[in-house]
Structure 1
Amino acid sequence: MLIDSHVNLHAPQFDEDRDAVIARAREAGVGLMVEISDKLSTFEATHGLAMAHPDIWCTVGVHPHEAKDYTRLTADELVNLAARPRVVGIGECGLDFHYDLSPRETQAEVFRLHIEAARCTGLPLVVHTREADDTMAAILEEERAAGPFRFLMHCYTSGPELAEKAAAMGAWFSVSGIATFKAAEDVRAVIRGMPADRIIVETDCPYLAPVPHRGRRNEPAYVGHVLQALADIRGWSREEALMRTTDAFFALFDRIPREDGR
């Protein structure tokens, strides 16, 4: 089955046809989706989707864009929310120095709280990073020295140096529809060097629709295009790409049971 490791189905772009979008994903062979939390004010909607659908799980966290509104957040709050059923990850969290919608120092502080929560719960951390390679590498290295945690570099489009450092720390990486964009050869070059046993795929819907749907609202049903792009980039068959990404997904999100019993 196909797995979409990063969906934002709570987003307002899906308010008119959310059930139809989920149905189309299933019809396209998508067997699992991870619904991502971007701020605690919408976590009830995120968690509600996971509770309502047996093929949807979720995370809990605060996107760096929203960090300015969570200066009083504690790791304990995240840990307590993560104890709910069907919560399988911490995040999306991290650093975004492209838009700077929250002060950089605040982004870093809130990110470190998420790392502490991931360390306490044993859940994987879903990391967003954009134009913050040096700071991201420094924080990850500092925090890894303080204690282990597992993490995913979501929708990775940053540079090769950060990718190499993250891979050396045991990071997983997710590939998105950006890999299908004509001008994204630098992204494809980094994908070729990612650890073969730690790559998964995502749509990040409603954003970043892959070719041939680029420019439209993205949906989980399109994740197969991302999988095919990954296969082409790595020189794998589609079947090998599916097997590898499925194994990597369950190794990372290990609170989700495998139906095949593996």
Structure 2
Amino acid sequence: MEPMITDSHCHLDFPQFEGELPDLLSRANAAGVHRMVTICTKLRQTPTVRALADAHAPVFWAAGTHPMSAADEPMATVEQLVDLARHPKMVGIGETGLDYHYTADSKAVQQESLRIHIEACRQTGLPLIIHSRDADDDMARILTEEHRAGPYTCVMHCFSSGPALAKAALDLGFYLSMSGIAAFPRSQEVRDIFAGAPLDRVLVETDAPYLAPPPHRGKRNEPSFVAHAARKGADVFGIDYADFAAATEANFERLFSKAASWTDDAAATP
């Protein structure tokens, strides 16, 4: 039996998985991946993502507007996000955040959207799911400002930013999520950042269908591959894989407490 583990961030509604979900879930189960959170990146796609969670017990979901889409999609409202959060398997707000790599021209819109998502987290008690790329200074500043204005919980999804943003996030009590990037040969700085983080603040994820870890580098990623990222995490922390898997499970259930408390006979959608 493989140790149980959770893929805390994937995109099962993306076309790369069309028609393959039963087989994908079977492979995940064989690898010990008993639970996954599929992320809606555009709110107009929530019916599709929600239906995946309704149809499959291991699948939970989160919703938000991805920062790269913030200028092209209708601005989310706090009320809209709070309403979506009433669904019993909707367990996080996002992914939201800042991405200045390709979309720096929409900085102001991204920042406005991020602050809206943070307020929805305060009102629902659900964790914020952050995407951050080439925006470390603004990200640290906004997360800190908003936390002073009112606390909330957060995970830095697919963390591959610099040590200053990692420190800012950890100082706020947030979590860092380790993806297949940590297993890439040239990712020593990322591994060093995780090695310096408290073990009780680390999650694992695939970001599938992207960022497949070795030995699947360059191929489509999927939730079963989170075990490869987690094995690299065990190496980084110098502990047995089973112990690392157990630690990340406890961390996930602490942060995503709504997923932890869900049962098959949970109430139907309001």
TM-score range, shorter chain: over 0.9
Q: How far apart are 1:39 and its partner, in Å?
A: 0.7
The aligned amino acid for 1:240 is: D
Query: Does the residue aligned with 2:199 lie in a helix, a strand or coil?
Result: coil
Mapping of 1:227-246 within 5 angstroms?
227-246=230-249
Structure 1 residue aligned with 2:129 = 126
Q: For residues 86-144 of structure 1, give each alpha carbon's deviation from its aligned partner in whole angstroms, at most 9, with x where no partner exists.
A: 10100000001111176011010001100000011000000000110000011011101
Give the structure 1 partner of residue 195 of structure 2.
192
CA distance in 2, matches of 1:57, 1:101: 31
SS class of match (1:256)? helix
Tell me the secondary structure at the aligned position of residue 92 of structure 2.
strand
Matched, 1:103 2:95: no
Could you tell me whether the CA contact under 8 Å between 2:155 and 2:176 is conserved in 1? yes
Q: Give the structure-1-normalised TM-score.
A: 0.96
Matched, 1:68 2:76: no
Aligned residue type for 1:28: A
Shift of 1:26: 1.5
Distance 1:54 1:155 in 2: 24
Q: Deviations over 1:24-71 (max 9, x none)?
A: 111222110111111112111111111111111111111101101345
Q: Structure 2 vs 1, CA of residues 255 and 43 (structure 1 numbering), >3 Å: closer, same or farther?
A: same
**1:82 and 2:101 equivalent?**
no
Within the candidate set 167, 173, 176, 1:173 is matched to: 176
**Aligned with 1:58 (options 58, 61, 73):** 61
| CA separation of 1:66 and 1:101: change in aligned 2, threshold 3 A | farther
CA contact (8 A) 1:71 1:106 kept: no
Q: Which has the higher contact order (CA 8 A, sep 6+)?
A: 2
Identity among equivalent pairs (%): 46
Alignment match of 2:50 (pick from 47, 50, 60): 47
Gaps of at least 5 residues in structure 1 are none
Q: Number of matched residues?
A: 259
SS at match of 1:208: coil
Contact 1:64 1:102 in 2 (8 A): no
Q: Distance in 2 between matches of 1:113 and 1:258?
A: 26
Match of 2:34 in 1: 31
RMSD: 1.3
Deviations 1:138-178 (A, max 9, x none): 10111011101000001100000110111000011110000
More divergent stretch after superposition (35-44 vs 95-104): 95-104
Q: Give me the whole-angstrom Cα distance separating, in 1, the residues matched to 2:104 and 2:68.
A: 5
Would the aligned equivalents of 1:36 and 1:91 in 2 still touch at CA under 8 Å?
A: yes
Q: Secondary structure at the match of 1:255?
A: helix
CA distance in 2, matches of 1:149, 1:258: 19
Q: Say which SS state the counterpart of residue 219 (structure 2) adopts.
A: coil
What SS does structure 2 have at the residue aligned with 1:212?
coil
Query: Could you tell me which amino acid in structure 2 is paired with residue 177 of structure 1?
Result: G
1:89 match: secondary structure:
strand
Contact 2:65 2:76 in 1 (8 A): no
Cross-structure match for 2:162: 159
Q: Which residue of 2 aligns with 1:20?
A: 23
Write the letter of the residue equivalent to 1:167.
L
Tell me the secondary structure at the aligned position of residue 103 of structure 1: helix
Change (3 A) 1:101 1:11: farther
Quick one: structure 1 residues 182 and 48, their matched pair in 2 at CA, closer, same or farther if it must change by over 3 Å?
A: same
Question: TM-score, normalised to structure 2's length?
Answer: 0.93
Q: What CA deviation, in whole Å up to 9, does each residue of 1:206-246 have, x standing for no partner?
A: 00000000000001111110110000011111111011101
